[in-house]
């Protein structure tokens, strides 16, 4: 989440104070991404340095400063909205790492390990789904943010399912399963 650009977006409909920006940010992200005031002022200072926002009254101190977006700030915001974020490099996902490491280790019950992760992911999904529970009372921003979270977690669950199937089929990966020793030899035969 780019706090920088979120603040520019909030300033695009009028000048605002720092605290006000923090509250609006949290409301617009469905309070899924809480933000502290210090972070807001730090980001505003950098935006000001880069000429993307301007302070209305330079004499006022922190909380009394009113910020407005500059012309350059508007251009930056428009550019950001249509520029796809760089997703070409795979993120270093810790869960993926754990499974990759486990596949190499002797004596790890990968299937049980995968199930433990699957159970955890689904229980987190259950909690997010509860947030969505009552549709009529659901805030749009919160609903969008929760959907994104649920889809992200679901993708991990599906990856675990696929990984489990692949580990079962792959002759080298089978070696790592603590499967019944009697059958291991025959199973490992190509």
Q: Is 73 exposed, middle or buried (0-12, 13-18, 19+ CB in 10 A)?
A: buried
Q: What is the total count of residues that contact other proteins (CB under 8 A)?
A: 34
Q: In the complex with other proteins, which residue's Cβ is closer, 9 or 15?
A: 9
Is the distance from CB of 163 to CB of 121 less than 8 angstroms?
A: no
Cβ 34 to other proteins shortest distance, Å: 5
Is the distance from CB of 146 to CB of 124 less than 8 angstroms?
A: no
Q: Is residue 155 helix, strand or coil?
A: helix
Is the distance from CB of 155 to CB of 121 less than 8 angstroms?
A: no
Residues 112-151 that bind other proteins (CB under 8 A): 115, 118-119, 121-131, 133, 135, 150-151
| Binding track over 35-74 against other proteins, x by CB under 8 A | x---x-----------------------------------
Site residues (vs other proteins, CB under 8 A): 1-4, 31-35, 39, 115, 118-119, 121-131, 133, 135, 150-151, 153-154, 157-158, 161, 165
């Amino acid at each position: 989440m780019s706090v920088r650009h979120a603040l520019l977006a909030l300033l695009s409909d009028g000048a605002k104070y720092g605290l006000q920006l923090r509250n609006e940010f949290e409301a617009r992200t469905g309070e899924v991404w809480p933000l502290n005031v210090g972070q807001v002022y730090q980001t505003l200072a950098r935006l000001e340095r880069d000429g993307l926002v301007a302070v209305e009254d330079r004499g006022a101190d922190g909380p009394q400063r009113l910020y407005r977006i500059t012309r350059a700030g508007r251009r930056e915001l428009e550019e950001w909205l249509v520029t796809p974020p760089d997703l070409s490099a795979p993120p270093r996902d810790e869960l993926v790492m754990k499974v990759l490491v486990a596949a190499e280790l002797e004596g790890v019950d990968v299937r049980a390990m995968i199930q433990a992760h699957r159970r955890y992911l689904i229980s987190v999904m259950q909690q997010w789904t509860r947030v969505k529970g009552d549709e009529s009372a659901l805030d749009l921003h919160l609903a969008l943010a929760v959907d994104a979270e649920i889809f992200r977690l679901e993708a991990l669950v599906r990856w675990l399912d696929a990984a489990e199937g692949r580990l079962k089929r792959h002759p080298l990966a089978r070696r790592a399963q603590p499967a019944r020793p009697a059958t291991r030899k025959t199973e490992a035969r190509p």
